Amino acid sequence: MEYVKLGTTGLDVSRICLGMMSYGDPTLLKWCLDIDGARPIINKALDLGINFFDTANVYSRGRSEEITGEILKGYRDDVVIATKVFFPVEGYVSDPKPNKSGLSRFHITHAIKDSLKRLQRKYVDLYQIHRLDPFTPIEEILRSLNLLINNGTVLHIGASSMFAWQFAKSLWKAERYGLEPFRTMQNHYNLCYREEEREMLPLCKDQGIGVIPWSPLARGFLSGKYTRNGNPDDYIRARTDKYMKPRFFKPEDFDVVEQVVEIAQEKEVTPAQIALAWLFSKDYVTSPIIGATKIEHVEQAVEALSIKLSEDDIKRLEEPYKPHLILGHS
């Protein structure tokens, strides 16, 4: 395993972050695993040197945090745990109960207490805003999060999908008012979605922000199992993930994935490993957040660290890309 600094936090994290969204309540997400299914995969990740784990309070309505806390409770000094706040844990995302979502000080204060209880922790290593709250001023959000740093319940704060100007504004506000800034950006970035290369990623590189992309395999689209003439509903993820088919499966997306498959065949590795190796080749990427529902998914992700892509490989992978509408900010 390789380790890198997480932005300017001073923390050493594995080049791979294990996404805990895959573990929770299968009655809510049919493709996720319960605690018995999650345990061997997480144990394998630990054995392979992964020390970075990302969850959120909204995943399986809190069950993901509970599984994370239960399995990792014996590794307090050996792992870096990240979780998130914004979406409602109870009720419907489209019609949440009053004060049960967003980034008001009221909601943040209650949400961190609930997350710590589920995680069986006294503090969270990295507390991220899952999305930006348009109804709460960024200065207020930062002050609320800084209170958590000051009282010892949070070590560092991070942000997730937003526009680069919004993130730049947050960094400026933090500097102006002497507040701890967001140290990380968890953004949507993979071979099929590269809009972040325009402004967000150069900003993060310039400001020393840790970049931990979500959906590095495009929700499994880059695994190569989906084909241009195939039926995506043959796979449970595509059948039950409401975001997958609207975001991918366009002709230009298949142009990319077919190039991934071709290079994978040449190197005798899997398409997913090529997609990850491409991310590892970018010096501004800290740790892609991978989802794993099988032990071999973790093993193959770690093996991808040793795959070296040539300049020609990278050119072939990137050439088919066409601009996309903004995906994942809402």
- 166-194 pLDDT, tens per residue? 999 999 999 999 999 999 999 999 999 99
Predicted TM-score (pTM) of this structure: 0.95
CA distance 172 to 184: 15
pLDDT given at position 107 = 97
Model confidence pLDDT, tens digit, residues 27-61? 988 889 999 999 999 999 999 999 999 999 999 99
**How close are the terminal C-alpha atoms of the chain, in Å?**
34
Q: Which two tokens stand for residue 183?
A: 């140290």
Q: Looking at the annotation, which residues are catalytic?
A: 59
Angle between the N-to-C axes of helices 164-177 and 200-207, in degrees from 0 to 180, rounded to the nearest 10: 30
Least confident of 154-158, 192-196, 223-227, 252-256: 223-227
Look up tokens 């190569």; give the residue. 224
The strand pairing partners of 290, in sequence order, are: 18
- Residue 5's SS3 state is strand
Cα–chain-centroid distance for residue 28? 20
> Residue range 284-291: average pLDDT?
97
**CA pair distance 75, 67, nearest whole angstrom:** 14
Pairing of strands 210-211, 12-14: unpaired
Q: Is the pLDDT of residue 96 over 80?
A: no
